[in-house]
Amino acid sequence: MNPYEMELRQYLEQGIVDEVGGLIATGKEASVYLAASHGKRLAIKLYKNSLHRSFKNRSDYFMRTIAPHRREARAIKNKTSFGRRLNECLWHSREVRMLRLLRAAGADVPEVLAVGEQSFVMEYYETEGRAAPRLADLRSELLHCDWILKRTLWNIKVFFENGVVHGDLSPYNILY
């Protein structure tokens, strides 16, 4: 069994999900799988390891959170094996922390339900039994543009008030 299968299997063994379905999305840093628990659909975000992703230089994101003279910062900068493992851990935990912080502040982000070493289980957004479409996929069909703009700006304000800036906010990352 490969490490990705083991990571997904842990949620089954822990009873967090009843089943793990197929791949529903893949990106530079992670893949997202459909799952279910008690008839409710969920999503599992599974991070790709550093050898299998196209977004490789992430240490810049963490240098402000770790004092530059600390052993951890030097290890990340020098890309030691400890530094690479720490960098992975920081990357994974940062997204979960941000989602939880923003969810608590009322932002329109999925709820994180469980966290693994290289993954997390979250709410799955759907409309009428299908995956919620990305805003980019609906450009010609949008009827509520004013509401979408107001809600997006409101979310950006909530992010900002909580010290978060979305570095990749686009119609491809907003679900309708």
Rounded to two decimals, what is the model's pTM?
A: 0.80
Distance CA 68, CA 62 (A): 10
Detail the DSSP E strand segments found in 52-104: none
Alpha-carbon distance values, 19 to 26, 36, 37, 42 (Å): 19, 5, 7, 10
Q: Is residue 4 within 8 Å of 46, Cβ to Cβ?
A: yes
pLDDT tens for each residue of the chain, 176 residues long: 677 788 889 999 999 999 999 898 888 889 999 999 999 999 999 998 765 444 444 444 444 555 555 777 776 677 777 766 666 767 778 889 999 999 999 999 999 999 998 899 999 999 888 888 888 888 777 777 888 899 999 999 999 999 998 878 888 888 88
* Contacts for 148 with CB less than 8 Å, ≥ 6 apart: 135, 142, 176
| Pairing between β-strand 119-123 and β-strand 40-47 as defined by DSSP bridges | antiparallel
DSSP state of 134: B
Furthest-apart CA atoms within the chain: distance in Å: 53
